[in-house]
A and B are shown apart, each in its own frame.
Chain A
Amino acid sequence: MTTALVLLSAIMAIVVGWLVRHTLNVSPWQEQGAAEIARGNGELAGLPVQVGLVVFMAVATSLFALFISAYYMRMAEADWTNFPLPTVLWLNSGLLVLASVAMQMTRTAARRGSLDGIRKGLVGGGVFSLAFLGGQIWAWRQLNASGEFTPANPAYAFFILLTALHGIHVLGGLFVWARATARAVRGIDLGKVRLSVELCTVYWHYLLLVWAALFFVLLNTHR
């Protein structure tokens, strides 16, 4: 449980630390005047939906951390066997990096206000992400073709479980991406497109980070 504990403690420390900082040195029993009210309530910078995305990423972090913890704890049992990781994972990692770069370029284009740049970037990001998912399925097929694959072997089962979980999160991102792309292609509602692009970019970087962590764990355990 160490992995989960460390990550969750970090999240809780940020939450509690932030809250304590906002609750020290205040005298809530005193009424406040106009000037004080005008200074604001200490909301976080960003729209509700941006804060919502950060909260969601914290929840997803908890989920992945707990799976990784379970992985390490299960690995300690006697029947654990390693297997050679499918080499296509390296290619897939590259594709996910490219998807992230494309999304970052979209964000830059969106901030410049270039609709053309947004379209190109979104299509690029989507194509690379879909290619990544295709590559992950290809990796599963490689495993299956090796003839060693059986769900009873926890190493294989965990490999499928972790990659599938990450893939589902990518699919969820692609759902938002699809709506943004449809809007961008039709060229309507540029404000909403810009917001979606901001959210997608942050989420894609997060997905890349999670994949990097998962891949690192897998590489370390399947030498």
Chain B
Amino acid sequence: MTYVTHDESAFVPPIEVEEPELYHAKTFIGKYIWSQDAKVIAVQYSLTAIGVGLVALVLSGIMRLQLGFPHTFQFISPATYLQFVTMHGMIMVIYLLTALFLGGFGNYLIPLMVGARDMVFPYVNMVSYWVYLFAVLLLLASFFVPGGPTGAGWTLYPPQAILSGTPGANWGIVLMLISLAFFIIGFTMGGLNYVVTVLQARTRGMTMMRLPLTVWGIFMATILALLAFPALFVSAIMMTLDHLLGTSFFMPALVSQGRVLDHNGGSPVLFQHLFWFFGHPEVYIVALPAFGIVSDLISINARRNIFGYRMMVWAILAIGGLSFIVWAHHMYVSGMNPYFGFFFATTTLIIAVPTALKVYNWVLTLWRGNIHFTVPMLFAIGFVFTFVNGGLTGLFLGNVPVDLPLSDTMFVVAHFHMVMAVSPILVVFGAIYHWYPKVTGRMLNDTMGKWHFWITFLGTYCIYYPMHYLGILGVPRRYYAIEGTDFIPASAHSVNEGITIAALIVGTVQLLFLYNLIWSYFKGKPSGGNPWRATTLEWQTPETPPKHGNFGPELPVVYRWAYDYSVPGAAEDFIPQNQPPAKMAATGRAKA
């Protein structure tokens, strides 16, 4: 591995503009707690997200226990069951996946991959994390307030979300809404950083079209999030006011438990529009970083350039643009005008085109590649399978006449878990196995990693494949227990038991992953600077783990794209982005 400083390529000085003043921490607390270094903030974000994600994982285990073995567990009442469903969903979508992909991977990878010393606004970046942590604590606090957390379902539809029949209607829902508002404020601070760093802080030679696809994915997802999260903010604020001050934004005139409420004339469908105007882009906020990361993992481990780089970039742009005009496909059963339904079904099917294009390109990158079945590669290939499966059932549900009978059944649960729960989390695992050596300087244990992959991958199929059949039978989602219904045969209950056992096994094996994270930190094989023989800039840092400022005295200069693998005639099967063209290096050396 040759680290080329500008001396050897005398023509191009590293960078002319004044470099930002870096924040220099003096104490332990300044370095690791109130840190303004994006890499430390990334680890803080990741650990917090994984921690709260574990809570949500345990909740899902409890839900499965209830569904698989009803009437066995005293501590699960209908109310607590709904609370666990709600908290599981909200935590996983927002507080784990969004925070981990953008706050975690975004913070770590953007400055390193674009060749910057740090984010452009380090102080704002630090505040972003602490606001996020505050939002997480507010959310978790709702477990300990009178009435417990809200049980309104993660979509929080009014009027039921704030009526007294729903669990957590006093404290839980308010904490949830305020926590969401804080999450959005914190995210906006971070998001400004990610976007402006990509736009303005790229090192010399790093044009937009030489960015690794990981950065493209995170960049576009951040733009979507910045524009879509305000919709959730608006709905959270207005629902809080409905609940606390008695306004009637969403609350219609109604009689609740024999009492006529003061609300009048509000529109619950208005909430649904606002919620899904955020909610659908949210799917792509999670998916686009996963797309980007998977592209890089596949290219590195197949030792081939990514097939159709420009197409991949344009597909990310197209998906980002289209994701704002498909939201109402979540609302086919809200009584909308059939022509509206037709419009949204059409846009939904159109968005499948750029998405399918990406899948073809991943497969074509693998075609005749020199495939290394490393653990990150296993997870990346696992993602492609799972994403295709989940995406295909999306085509079913995108069509109005198919969606109507399947709406609110286990089919929907199986679909969205395949496409936006299992798929992204496989990428999260792959990415952690891939970048852990850069963060810690040690490799994760390979054997444990392979066990972790195979049990997780096959296990999730045991969970979600049968669930589609339950949905087609008509088994509804969010039900505490199903009894006395003729259309659900006894065999469906056996399937539920099987799913629960698979879910518990998959849940437990994540402990192996956590153990691996801790064990390898102390005992893992030292990785060196570039264990995957990758081209992107984060692997070319002078130190591993990179010090504050990332690149030593001089920023790298980028001469090529991120995908120079197996270039014919090259000495090695990869050429780092900062390695100058052969001719230039020769003249540079001669002069020196």
Chain A residues near B (Cβ < 8 Å): 1, 4-5, 8-9, 11-13, 15-16, 19-20, 22-23, 26, 28-34, 36-38, 41-44, 47-49, 51-52, 55-56, 58-59, 62-63, 66-67, 70, 73-74, 77-80, 151-154, 157-158, 161
Q: Can you give 26 A-B contacts (C-beta < 8 A)?
A: A5-B324, A5-B325, A20-B314, A28-B207, A28-B209, A28-B210, A28-B309, A29-B564, A41-B205, A41-B207, A41-B208, A44-B199, A49-B120, A51-B200, A52-B196, A62-B231, A63-B230, A66-B234, A67-B234, A73-B273, A74-B249, A79-B264, A79-B265, A152-B264, A154-B265, A157-B248
Q: Knowing that A33-B584, A77-B265, A154-B265 are A-B contacts, what are 14 other residue pairs whose CB atoms are under 8 Å apart, sorted by A's residue number?
A: A12-B324, A26-B209, A31-B560, A37-B204, A41-B202, A41-B208, A62-B228, A66-B230, A70-B234, A151-B241, A152-B264, A157-B241, A157-B247, A157-B249
Chain A: CB-nearest residue to B313: A23
CB < 8 Å neighbour of A34 from B233, B309, B325, B584: B584
Chain A residues with CB under 8 Å of B273's CB are 1, 73
| Chain B interfacial residues counted at CB < 8 A | 68
- In the complex, what residues of B have CB within 8 A of residue A29's CB? 305, 309, 561, 563-564
User: Whole-angstrom distance from the CB of B20 to the nearest CB of chain A?
Assistant: 8
Which 10 pairs, one residue from A and one from B, show the smallest C-beta to C-beta distance? A79-B265, A34-B11, A63-B230, A48-B120, A157-B247, A28-B561, A28-B209, A37-B205, A31-B560, A62-B230
Inter-chain contacts of A42 with B (CB < 8 A): 207-208
Nearest CB in chain B to that of A64: its residue: B230
Q: How far is the CA of A79 from the CA of B265 in the complex (A)?
A: 6
Contacts of B246 in A (CB 8 A): 151-152
B297-323 contacts to A (CB < 8 Å):
305, 309-310, 313-314, 317-318, 320-321
B561 nearest CB across to chain A (Å)? 4
Closest to B235 in A: A70
Name the A residues within 8 Å of B204 (CB-CB). Answer: 37, 41
A16 to B313, CA, bound (A): 11
Q: Which residue of A lies closest to B222 (CB)?
A: A55
Question: From residue B392, how far is it (CB to closest CB) to chain A in Å?
Answer: 27
A39, closest chain B residue (CB): B207
Query: Distance (Å) between the CB of A33 and the closest chain B CB?
Result: 6
| Chain B residue contacts of A56, Cβ below 8 A | 188, 192
Q: Which residues of chain B come closer than 8 Å to A43, judged between CB atoms? A: 199-200, 202
By secondary structure, the A interface counts as helix
Known: A49-B121, A152-B263, A154-B248. A70 touches B274 (CB 8 A): yes
Residue of A nearest to B317 (CB): A16
Q: Say yes or no: B267 contacts A77, CB within 8 Å.
A: yes
Instruction: Check if B227 sits within 8 Å of A11, measured CB to CB.
Output: yes
- Which B residue sits closest to A54, measured CB to CB? B196
A154 contact set on B, CB distance < 8 A = 247-249, 265-266
Given known contacts A41-B204, A48-B120, A66-B230, is B223 in contact with A15 (CB within 8 Å)? yes
Contact of A152 among B248, B318, B563 (CB under 8 A): B248
Q: Say yes or no: is B503 at the interface (Cβ < 8 Å to chain A).
A: no
Contact of B324 among A8, A22, A74 (CB under 8 A): A8
Give chain B nearest CB distance to A53 CB in angstroms: 9
A195 shortest CB reach to chain B, Å = 14
Q: Pick the residue among B238, B266, B321 that contacts A12 (CB under 8 A).
A: B321
Are A41 and B206 touching (Cβ within 8 A)?
yes
- A13, A23, A31, A58 interface centre (most CB from chain B within 10 Å): A31
Contact status B195-A55, CB under 8 Å: yes
Partner of A48, one of B196, B270, B560: B196
**How many whole Å from A198's CB to the nearest CB in chain B?**
16
On chain A, the residues within 8 Å of B201 by CB distance are 48
Inter-chain contacts of B463 with A (CB < 8 A): none
Q: Does B129 contact A (CB under 8 A)?
A: no
Tell me whether B277 is interfacial, beta carbon within 8 Å.
Answer: yes
**Bound: A32/B206 CA distance, A:** 10
At the interface, yes or no: B559 with Cβ under 8 Å from chain A? yes
B554 at interface, CB cutoff 8 A: no
Q: Within 8 Å of chain A (Cβ to Cβ): is B33?
A: no
Residues of A within 8 A of B230 (CB): 59, 62-63, 66
Residues of A with C-beta under 8 A to B200: 43-44, 47-48, 51
In the complex the two chains form, is B121's CB within 8 Å of A8's CB?
no
User: Quick check: is B581 within 8 A (CB to CB) of the other chain?
Assistant: yes
Q: Please tell me if B490 contacts chain A, counting CB pairs below 8 Å.
A: no
- Residue on A with the closest CB to B10? A34
B121 to A48, Cβ gap below 8 A?
Answer: yes
B581 to chain A, nearest CB (A): 5
Is B460 part of the binding interface, using a Cβ–Cβ cutoff of 8 Å?
A: no
Please tell me if the beta carbons of B205 and A32 are within 8 angstroms of each other in the complex.
Answer: yes
Q: Is the CB of A78 within 8 A of B265?
A: yes
CA distance A74 to B274 in the complex (A): 12
> Is B55 in contact with chain A by the CB < 8 A criterion?
no
Q: Please determine whether A32 and B560 come into contact, CB atoms closer than 8 angstroms.
A: yes
Measured CA separation A51–B198 after assembly (Å): 11
Give chain A residues whose Cβ lies under 8 Å from the Cβ of B210.
Answer: 28
Chain B residues near A28 (CB, 8 Å)? Answer: 207, 209-210, 309-310, 561
How far is B226's CA from A15's CA once the two chains are assembled, in angstroms?
Answer: 13
Task: Specify which chain B residues have a CB less than 8 angstroms from the CB of A31 in the assembled complex.
Answer: 559-560, 581
Q: Which residue of A lies closest to B189 (CB)?
A: A56
Contact A23:B209 (CB < 8 A) given known A52-B196, A63-B233: yes
Given contacts A5-B325, A151-B246, A152-B263, contact A59 B227 (CB under 8 A): yes
Q: When the two chains form their complex, are residues B9 and A19 in contact, meaning their CB atoms are under 8 A apart?
A: no
CB pair A51–B265 under 8 Å, yes or no, is no
Min Cβ gap A179→B in Å is 14
CB of A152 within 8 A of CB of B262, answer yes
CA distance A22 to B216 in the complex (A): 13
B590 CB–A CB distance under 8 Å? no
B571 within 8 A of A: no
In the complex, B29 has a CB within 8 A of chain A: no
With a CB–CB cut-off of 8 A, which chain B residues contact A41?
Answer: 202, 204-208
Residues of A within 8 A of B557 (CB): 37
> Bound complex: CA of A44 vs CA of B273, how far in Å?
35
Chain B nearest Cβ from A140, distance in angstroms: 14
Contact A34 B188 (CB under 8 A): no
* Chain A CB within 8 A of B245 CB: yes
- Determine which residue in A11, A22, A80, A152 has the highest number of CB atoms from chain B within 10 A of its CB, and name it: A152
Residue of A nearest to B225 (CB): A59
Is the Cβ of A12 less than 8 Å from the Cβ of B320? yes
**Which residue from chain B places its CB closest to the CB of A35 in the assembled complex?**
B11
Give which listed residue, B226, B270, B317, B318, contacts A58 with CB less than 8 A. B226
CA distance A30 to B210 in the complex (A): 10
Residues in B whose Cβ lies below 8 Å from that of A9: 324-325
CB neighbours (8 Å) of B233 from chain A are: 63
Q: Report how far A79 CA is from B248 CA in the complex, Å.
A: 10
**A51 B199 Cβ-Cβ under 8 A:** yes
Closest chain A residue to B120 by CB distance?
A: A48
Contact call B234/A63, Cβ cutoff below 8 A: yes
